[in-house]
């Protein structure tokens, strides 16, 4: 098996935020996808060790903030590599509180969605939360959304270890590039 193929799967990059009534927090996720059309439902995978996972479980809401391609690196640094147990992540940026109470990042965000959790599934290391979309809007129609592929290939960014798409670099060395 050639694990490099995992980099050919396309993802965006988002800040997923939640609020349990006493704490607001968020993390960087690429595993954000619409799973049904009627009604619109989204799935988000979150590592059981993520501080935000417990907040989503308790608050039963989450907001998805869609990052722009020309994001400021502090966004990834703060939401992807720091813990909400140590810092108030949203405190460093512009954000607003949605109708569900979930925090919506406004800095470097092109649009957002808010969801109410209606189900959650245990996938082993991660929980898959399923949410009904209750609100959403576009902030900037002219900007490109950041993709995981751009972050990986152009910005040379890595997935944090808690990401569903983290790959141990030691396992990637054996396969030279291919062309058909």
Q: Edge to edge, what strands does the sheet with 24-29 contain?
A: 24-29, 14-19, 61-67, 109-122, 126-138, 41-47, 32-36
Cα–Cα distance, 58 to 131 (Å, whole number): 14
Name the strand (E) or helix (H) holding 76: helix 73-81
Among 136, 152, 157, 158, binds a second copy (CB under 8 A): 136
The stretch among 20-28, 54-62, 89-97, 158-166 that binds a second copy (CB under 8 A) is 158-166
Comparison of 81 and 87: residue with beta carbon closer to a second copy:
81
Binding status of residue 75 toward a second copy by CB under 8 A: no
Q: Estimate to the nearest angstrom the gap between the alpha carbon of 88 and the chain centroid.
A: 17
Binding status of residue 97 toward a second copy by CB under 8 A: no
In this structure, how many other beta carbons lie within 10 angstroms of the beta carbon of residue 117? 19
The stretch among 20-28, 75-83, 86-94, 160-168 that binds a second copy (CB under 8 A) is 160-168
Omega before residue 94 within 30° of 0, cis: no
Binding status of residue 32 toward a second copy by CB under 8 A: yes
Comparison of 35 and 87: residue with beta carbon closer to a second copy:
35
By CB under 8 A, name the binding residues for a second copy: 1-6, 8-12, 31-41, 43, 45, 64, 66, 110-113, 119, 121, 123-126, 128, 130, 133-143, 145, 147-149, 163-167, 175, 177-180
């Amino acid at each position: 098996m050639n694990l490099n193929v995992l980099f050919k799967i396309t993802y965006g990059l988002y800040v997923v935020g939640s609020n349990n009534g006493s704490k607001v927090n968020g993390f960087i996720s690429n595993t954000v996808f619409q799973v049904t059309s009627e009604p619109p439902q989204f799935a988000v995978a979150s590592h059981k060790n993520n501080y935000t996972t417990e907040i989503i479980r308790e608050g039963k809401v989450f907001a998805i903030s869609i990052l722009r391609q020309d994001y400021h690196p502090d966004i990834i640094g703060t939401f992807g590599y720091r813990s909400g147990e140590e810092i108030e992540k949203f405190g460093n940026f512009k954000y607003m509180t949605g109708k569900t109470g979930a925090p919506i990042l406004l800095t470097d965000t092109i649009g957002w969605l808010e969801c109410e959790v209606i189900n959650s599934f245990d996938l082993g290391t991660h929980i898959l939360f399923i949410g009904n979309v209750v609100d959403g809007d576009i902030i900037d129609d002219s900007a490109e959304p950041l993709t995981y592929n751009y972050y990986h290939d152009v910005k040379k960014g890595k997935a944090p270890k808690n990401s569903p798409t983290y790959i141990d670099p030691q396992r990637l060395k054996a396969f030279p590039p291919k062309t058909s």
